[in-house]
């Protein structure tokens, strides 16, 4: 075990890295962040901020020299950088698992090999592939870049070959996945932690709602039937085992016509898992520290139902928001990420409302939101 007092490394300095730093420091660890942004939210809190690109070999060597073990904040860290780090320092999760999760084509094929149901899809490498794929899937579809897409970016709904070709060209004619557009009953995520010894703990399934491709609200526990959430948990545990995964992993699912379909894998803490900060015995970020350091995993049990709402940069269009609508609610928890610049669609923070029942937590979150928006987008 890597015990408190040691130095941990994290590649990536956004809000996920920031919350990792807070959890690690609370447990008595030092943290080194590697991120090119001189004003990164995690870098400002860490003991050391290596301001360098993720492929900078000198910076990677310095990170490995300073740290007992290294993790990642987001899945688009180049797998080659993780392989380089792993030559001299433990890296968790490993480069092989990250390489699968950061490429939709590899990810889809991996899920199929695991025997899991996905949305019907076709791989697209060129214009000819696209025409055949759209004809095979029929009707409306979603074209997604194989790499570097997130929060709705690098995705486009298409209803004709003309729209599909235009979208493909806008993505630089890079490899893509074309998915059949399914009618969704709900979306859920399963967040788990898996240790170096294979021990696994799983949080209750989380129900998610998106707006414009960005997560808007999360409810824990999900209101999906127990039979569905049990299958989702089993699938997530199977994925983690097949990846020989160490760390926190999130798996997103669609529920369509009563059938559970795997959407994608996130090899890191997940936006929907932020609700665990206030609603569970052990947050996903403490679990990340525990798994990284080979410590016994914490209890993921739910303390009370909760509803979380993301705060996007759109709220800052008229200036700094007034926070009274949230702070006057005694069972609401405000989390701001320390980002200097607010932009439309950028995640600036979130708030979570707790309740004795899920209906109560959800009603409280809706009430806070109505007060917020009725006050002029937070003002």
pLDDT digits (tens, 9 = 90+) for 312-366: 998 888 778 888 889 999 999 999 999 988 999 899 999 999 999 999 999 999 9
Task: Determine the pLDDT at residue 373.
Answer: 61
Q: H or E segment at 238?
A: helix 226-242
Q: How many helices (H) and strands (E) does the chain have?
A: 12, 17
> Which residues 6+ apart lie within 8 Å of 206 measured at CB?
188, 189, 190, 191, 218, 219, 220, 221, 222, 272, 273, 275
Residue appearing with tokens 């939210």: 41
Query: Would you say 13 and 21 are in contact if contact means Cβ atoms under 8 Å apart?
Result: no
Retrieve residue 8's tokens: 């941990």
Q: What is the pTM of this model?
A: 0.93
Task: Determine the pLDDT at residue 378.
Answer: 44
Task: Determine the pLDDT at residue 306.
Answer: 98
Residue 134: strand, helix, or coil: helix
Closest CA to 307 of 355, 247, 377: 355
What's the rounded Cα separation, in Å, for the pair 297 and 1? 12
Cis? peptide before 248, omega within 30° of 0: no
Retrieve residue 151's tokens: 């929060």
Query: Would you say 123 and 132 are in contact if contact means Cβ atoms under 8 Å apart?
Result: no
Pairing of strands 69-72, 121-124: unpaired
Task: Determine the pLDDT at residue 137.
Answer: 85
What's the rounded Cα separation, in Å, for the pair 213 and 275? 19
What's the rounded Cα separation, in Å, for the pair 298 and 282? 6
Taken as a whole, the chain contains a residue count of 379
DSSP string, 166-177: HHHHHTTT--EE
First to last CA, the chain: 48
> Which residues 6+ apart lie within 8 Å of 339 measured at CB?
15, 41, 346, 348
pLDDT in tens, 174-229: 999 999 988 888 999 999 999 999 999 999 999 999 988 899 999 999 999 999 99
Q: Where are the domains of the chain?
A: 7-91, 120-180, 186-374
Backbone angles phi, psi at 85, to 5 degrees: -60, -40
> Which residues 6+ apart lie within 8 Å of 38 measured at CB?
51
Task: Determine the pLDDT at residue 183.
Answer: 85
Task: Determine the pLDDT at residue 131.
Answer: 84
On the CB side of 22, CA atoms within 13 Å amount to: 16
Q: What's the CATH fold of domain 120-180?
A: Dna Ligase; domain 1 (3.30.1490)
In 3-state terms the chain splits into helix, strand, coil percentages (rounded to 5) of 35, 25, 40
What CATH number labels 186-374?
A: 3.30.470.20
Task: Determine the pLDDT at residue 152.
Answer: 59
Parts of the chain with a pLDDT under 50: 376-379
What is the sign of the dihedral through the CA atoms of 334, 335, 337 and 342?
Answer: negative
> Which residues 6+ apart lie within 8 Å of 303 measured at CB?
279, 280, 281
Task: Determine the pLDDT at residue 369.
Answer: 86
Architecture of the domain delimited by 7-91: 3-Layer(aba) Sandwich (3.40)
On the CB side of 119, CA atoms within 13 Å amount to: 28
Task: Determine the pLDDT at residue 355.
Answer: 97
Retrieve residue 160's tokens: 């004709």
What's the rounded Cα separation, in Å, for the pair 120 and 259? 13
What is the separation of C-alpha 159 from the centre of its chain, rounded to a whole number of angstroms? Answer: 28
On the CB side of 15, CA atoms within 13 Å amount to: 18
Task: Determine the pLDDT at residue 258.
Answer: 84
In the chain, which ranges are E strands? 7-11, 30-34, 48-50, 69-72, 121-124, 141-145, 155-158, 176-180, 186-194, 200-202, 206-211, 214-220, 247-256, 259-266, 306-312, 332-336, 347-354
Query: Would you say 364 and 358 are in contact if contact means Cβ atoms under 8 Å apart?
Result: no
What's the rounded Cα separation, in Å, for the pair 174 and 100? 17
């Amino acid at each position: 075990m890597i015990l408190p007092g040691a130095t941990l490394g994290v590649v990536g300095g956004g809000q996920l890295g920031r919350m990792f730093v807070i959890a690690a420091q609370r447990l008595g660890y030092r943290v080194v962040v590697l991120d090119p942004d001189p004003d990164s939210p995690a870098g400002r809190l860490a003991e050391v901020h290596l301001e360098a690109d993720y492929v900078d070999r000198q910076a990677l060597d310095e990170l490995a020299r300073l740290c007992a073990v290294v993790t990642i904040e987001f899945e688009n860290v180049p797998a080659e950088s993780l392989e380089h780090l792993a030559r001299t320092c433990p890296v968790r999760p490993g480069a092989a698992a990250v390489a699968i999760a950061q490429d939709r084509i590899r990810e889809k094929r991996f899920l199929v090999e695991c025997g899991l149901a996905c949305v019907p899809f076709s791989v697209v490498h060129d214009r000819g592939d696209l025409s055949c794929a759209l004809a095979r899937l029929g009707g409306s579809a979603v074209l997604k870049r194989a790499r570097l897409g997130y929060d709705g970016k690098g995705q486009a709904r298409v209803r004709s070959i003309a729209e599909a070709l235009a979208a493909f060209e806008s993505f630089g004619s890079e490899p893509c996945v074309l998915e059949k557009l399914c009618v969704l009953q709900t979306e859920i995520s399963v967040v788990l932690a898996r240790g170096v010894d294979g021990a696994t703990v799983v949080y209750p399934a989380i129900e998610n709602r998106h707006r414009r491709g960005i997560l808007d609200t999360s409810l824990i526990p999900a209101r999906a039937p127990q039979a569905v959430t049990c299958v989702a948990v089993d699938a997530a545990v199977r994925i983690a085992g097949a990846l020989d995964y160490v760390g926190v992993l999130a798996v997103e699912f669609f529920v369509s016509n009563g059938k559970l379909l795997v959407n994608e894998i996130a090899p890191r803490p997940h936006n929907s898992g932020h609700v665990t900060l206030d609603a569970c015995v052990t947050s996903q970020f403490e679990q990340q520290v525990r798994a990284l350091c080979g410590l016994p995993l914490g209890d993921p049990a739910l303390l009370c139902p909760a509803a979380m709402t993301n705060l996007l940069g759109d709220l800052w269009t008229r200036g700094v928001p007034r926070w009274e609508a949230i702070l006057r609610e005694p069972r609401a928890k405000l989390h701001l990420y320390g980002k200097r610049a607010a932009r439309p669609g950028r995640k600036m923070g979130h708030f979570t409302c707790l309740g004795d029942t899920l209906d109560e937590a959800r009603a409280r979150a809706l009430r806070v939101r109505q007060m917020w928006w009725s006050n002029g987008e937070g003002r």
